[in-house]
Amino acid sequence: MDDRPRPRGRRPGATSSRTGPARTGAVHEQGGIALALAGGGTLGGIYEIGAIAALSETLEGIDFNALDIYVGVSAGGFVAAGLANGITPGQMVSKFIENRGEDGLIALKPESLLRPAFAEYGRRAGS
């Protein structure tokens, strides 16, 4: 067996790729936690809020408002932005799923985003 150190991240016998993307930047030895959320419209966002709330109740030691990186697309961006700005998963459930407003705020009603705007369509079709 060869006792020479091999480059990190390569399996024995692998060759370097000249067509792959070049790696730039520093390699960080210490890891962090990132949260990446997909889109999915209003129902996808509600599903993600419920899943994150369930995870926050069952996983000890993870604060979903203190992660290192937040990434989201569409509804996932909405949820990620809320978490990054200190809205807890429990508060999101209360405001966006159970429709309970706090501090005099009006809760978001998902059905208002799912209802077709027939009056708007009629106005635009007539002009």
Burial of 35 (0-12, 13-18, 19+ CB in 10 A): buried
pLDDT of residue 16: 53
Compute mean pLDDT per 10 residues along the chain, 127 residues long, and list them. 54 52 58 92 92 95 94 95 95 83 62 75 86
DSSP per-residue codes, 12-66: TT----SSSPPP-SPPPSS---EEEE---HHHHHHHHHHHHHHHHHH-TT--TTS
Torsional class of 103: left (φ above 0), alpha (ψ -120 to 50), beta (otherwise): left
Question: What is the rounded distance in angstroms from the CA atom of residue 71 to the CA atom of residue 88?
Answer: 16
pLDDT single digits (tens) 56-82:
999 998 999 999 999 999 999 999 999
